[in-house]
Amino acid sequence: MIVNLSHLLLLKIVSYLEENIDKICVSLVCKRLFSERDKYLYFNTDHLNVNISKEIDNLGGRSKSKSNKEAPVYYIKSLFTMKSYRTSLLRSLGQKSNCTLIYGKAIYETDYSVNPYKYPVENIYGITPNITKVEIAKPIDNKYLKEIYGMISNSNVSTLIGISSLSYVLPVNLTSITFNEKFNKALLAGQLPPNLKELIFEWNSIFNQPISAGVLPNTLEKLMFGSYSYFNKPFEPHVLPSSLTYLELGRSYTQTLQVGSLPPNLRVLIHCGSYSKISADESLDNLTALTLFYRYDSVGTLDLSDLPASLTSLDIESSLHLTSSLSPSIRYLSIHNSKYDVDEIFKDRSQYNFEILSVDGYKQESLENLKINELQLRFGKKGSIIREIPFGVETLEFGIDDEHLVKKNRKGIPSSVKKIIFNSCPTINELDFKIPNSVEHVVIKAFYNGFSKILFSSLSSSCSI
């Protein structure tokens, strides 16, 4: 009988239950299991959120605790809020590692959150050891910010997101920081944490200040200016530290990168504009991934033979005209927006072995004799006939089509395809053909309500969705 099982066996049984409501039902089987619930009951913490604050008197708005040094009372946001399980909930969350704490109103699910305006700074307690990331949802008054930085300095937090000012010295234990979109102050030497590895500016950041030599720590590995950030200042030689391996420049960046401005250890470069503005630099021998973003004026020609021989990933998000042969070292290739002669860029097809190849889904050209593990079809242009899928492709992905045009397939999907990925469920409705029984897995990345026709009638019963 389950009521006589040891705590160890109960713990094992409950661990197999994914839904927290099912775990609670086990504890309600009998009086013994309920009274001893704290000895075996641990909750699934994926959807638990804790508000850190003192308990506030509902009538007077005053703290029930008489001393700020007393243990805090937590508010628990979840599908159930029974006080009988408060201890189990907190103990379960305490065992979760790498948690996130948000200061301000959390607009999405997080582990811990606190509103410093609703609960005064003296009611905010220290950061628990399992929290490694802190996010400031909105700019906070300096009197609160100083207290928050003090708590971060005495914690295991290594990541801080949402920095809006440098009024106070950033905690030295931070290794990753993100400035919010409104930050636009010049950075000075010594302001950034000495062991910083990641420096990120939000995707729509207005930061557009020159960066001088000595500002960026020599430990920095990743520097990101968001896709639509305003940054457009030239990098003088030696401004970027030699430790940097990842650099992303937003769509506003039009500066020509000088010889010596890119560090020799750079592995990943995301750049918006012509490759000619970076090809003059001779320090790209270690580059393994290159992305060229789309701009309204991104036209011209890219000679593939000019690319570093070290590249294994090439993503061209622009309408460049590609010439010469592609290096066989490239395993990840995206050319769905580009213009090219397929026989020119893949001169000897037997040399290529792609993990992922992303192409225009409507372009009628043969990809036979190319080894392709995953073929991604993109539909940025108008069309109706999907290109022929070569035999050997194991995973086929259908991208989003903003035109929502009906897609026909003359020769069907080859039996080598075992997995199909749809970026959104409306794409399924746009197919004018059935998914064959040979497909074993179907993945829908974004699911929307209201779509009616799903062409899965010919799927085998073993296919998973």
Q: Are residues 351 and 205 in the same domain?
A: yes
Which of the two residues, 10 and 459, has the higher pLDDT score?
Answer: 10
Residue 105 is predicted with a pLDDT of 67
Degrees, nearest 5: CA angle 178-294-239: 45
Tally of CA atoms within 13 A in the half-sphere of 295 that contains its CB: 19
Q: Are residues 102 and 15 in the same domain?
A: no
Look at residue 371 and tell me if it is in a domain: yes
Residue 68 is predicted with a pLDDT of 40
Look at residue 72 and tell me if it is in a domain: no
pLDDT digits (tens, 9 = 90+) for 348-404: 999 999 999 999 999 999 999 999 999 999 987 777 789 999 999 999 999 877 666
Look at residue 442 and tell me if it is in a domain: no
Q: Are residues 249 and 136 in the same domain?
A: yes
Look at residue 260 and tell me if it is in a domain: yes
Domain tally, the chain: 2
pLDDT digits (tens, 9 = 90+) for 92-104: 888 888 989 888 7
Residue 140 is predicted with a pLDDT of 77
Share of the chain above pLDDT 70, in %: 81
pLDDT greater than 50 at residue 118: yes
Q: Are residues 394 and 262 in the same domain?
A: yes
Look at residue 12 and tell me if it is in a domain: yes
Residue 191 structural domain: 98-415
Residue 71 is predicted with a pLDDT of 42
Q: Are residues 259 and 161 in the same domain?
A: yes
Q: Kindly indicate the confidence band of residue 170, based on its pLDDT and cuts at 50, 70 and 90.
A: very high
Look at residue 429 and tell me if it is in a domain: no
pLDDT greater than 80 at residue 106: no
Which of the two residues, 351 and 88, has the higher pLDDT score?
Answer: 351
Q: Are residues 181 and 304 in the same domain?
A: yes
Q: Kindly indicate the confidence band of residue 169, based on its pLDDT and cuts at 50, 70 and 90.
A: very high
What pTM value is reported for the model? Answer: 0.83
Residue 193 is predicted with a pLDDT of 97
Q: Are residues 146 and 290 in the same domain?
A: yes
Degrees, nearest 5: CA angle 127-133-137: 95
Min mean pLDDT across 38-42, 56-60, 76-80, 229-233 is at: 56-60
Q: Are residues 200 and 268 in the same domain?
A: yes
Q: What is the CATH number of the domain that holds 167?
A: 3.80.10
What's the 3-state SS for the chain? Answer: CHHHCCHHHHHHHHHCCCCHHHHHHHHCCCHHHHHCHHHCCCCCCCCCEEEECCCECCCCCCECCCCCCCCCCEEEECCCCCHHHHHHHHHHHHCCCCEEEEECCCCCCCCEEECCCCCCHHHCCCCCCCEEEEEECCCCCHHHHHHHHHHHHCCCCCEEEEECCCCCCCCCCCCEEEECCCCCCCCCCCCCCCCCCEEEECCCCCCCCCCCCCCCCCCCCEEEECCCCCCCCCCCCCCCCCCCCEEECCCCCCCCCCCCCCCCCCCEEEEECCCHHHHCCCCCCCCCEEEEECCCCCCCEEEHHHCCCCCCEEEECCCCEEECCCCCCCCEEECCCCECCHHHHCCCHHHCEEEEEEEECCCCCCCCCCEEEEEEEECCCCCCECCCCCCCCCEEEECCCCCCCCEECCCCCCCCCCEEEEEECHHHHCECCCCCCCCCEEEEEECCCCCCCCCCCCCCCCCEC
Domain boundary among 415, 436, 459: 415
> What separation, in Å, do the N-terminal and C-terminal C-alpha atoms of the chain show?
37
Q: Residue 283: what residue type?
A: S
Min mean pLDDT across 77-81, 162-166, 245-249 is at: 77-81
pLDDT greater than 70 at residue 32: yes
Q: Are residues 240 and 132 in the same domain?
A: yes
Residue 55 is predicted with a pLDDT of 38
Look at residue 164 and tell me if it is in a domain: yes
The mean pLDDT of the chain is 83
Degrees, nearest 5: CA angle 140-142-144: 65
Q: Kindly indicate the confidence band of residue 297, based on its pLDDT and cuts at 50, 70 and 90.
A: low
Look at residue 240 and tell me if it is in a domain: yes
Q: Are residues 104 and 30 in the same domain?
A: no
Min mean pLDDT across 81-85, 105-109, 112-116, 457-461 is at: 457-461
Residue 339 is predicted with a pLDDT of 92
Residue 142 is predicted with a pLDDT of 75
Domain boundary among 415, 434, 449: 415
Q: Are residues 35 and 105 in the same domain?
A: no
pLDDT greater than 60 at residue 278: yes
Q: Kindly indicate the confidence band of residue 91, based on its pLDDT and cuts at 50, 70 and 90.
A: confident
Domain boundary among 370, 395, 415: 415
pLDDT greater than 80 at residue 295: no
Residue 114 is predicted with a pLDDT of 80
pLDDT greater than 80 at residue 463: no
Residue 51 is predicted with a pLDDT of 66
Residue 218 is predicted with a pLDDT of 97
Residue 112 is predicted with a pLDDT of 80
Which of the two residues, 94 and 240, has the higher pLDDT score?
Answer: 240
Highest mean pLDDT among 21-25, 44-48, 176-180: 176-180
Sign of CA pseudo-dihedral 191, 193, 198, 202: negative
Residue 80 is predicted with a pLDDT of 53
Min mean pLDDT across 64-73, 117-126, 231-240, 304-313 is at: 64-73
Mean pLDDT of 177-190: 96
Q: Are residues 221 and 143 in the same domain?
A: yes
